[in-house]
Amino acid sequence: MAPKPLDVLKFIGRSSKRIAVSLVGGLFVLGGIAMLVLPGPGIIVIVIGFAILGTEYTWAAAALERTKSAAETAGRMAKGGASRVARTVTRRPAPDPAPMDEPPAAPAADLSTEDNDR
């Protein structure tokens, strides 16, 4: 028995939202992955893509939580590394200045033997 046209329209209406969410969310995730090696805010775009996909898929909501925790960990590591570098740089002694006993060297004279007046 063939489905009724009204049932087909209802199915398309219900599925169109899921298809649209899948396409848009997937494009955001793929674009964010590309931005990890290209210029752009890759992690932010990936998070947005998982948030979009999470409206329809539970696995995407779980992936969003994992991505958020990974981003927080990376942020803490970056802050810790930056402060460690700052402490290391401030502890280094300043280099000794060059001795000023000798006057600066004069530029070398042009000693070419070529005569351009001929």
User: Phi/psi of residue 59, each to 5°?
Assistant: -65, -35
What confidence tens digit (pLDDT) does each residue in 48-73 have?
998 898 888 888 888 888 878 888 88
pLDDT given for residue 14 in this prediction: 79
What are the residues whose beta carbons fall under 8 Å from the beta carbon of 30, sequence distance 6 or more? 49
> Which of 16, 98, 25 lies closest to 55 in space, CA to CA?
25
Integer Cα distance of 71 and 1 in angstroms: 52
List the chain domain ranges. 13-73
pLDDT given for residue 111 in this prediction: 62
What confidence tens digit (pLDDT) does each residue in 79-112 have?
877 666 666 655 556 666 666 666 666 666 666 6
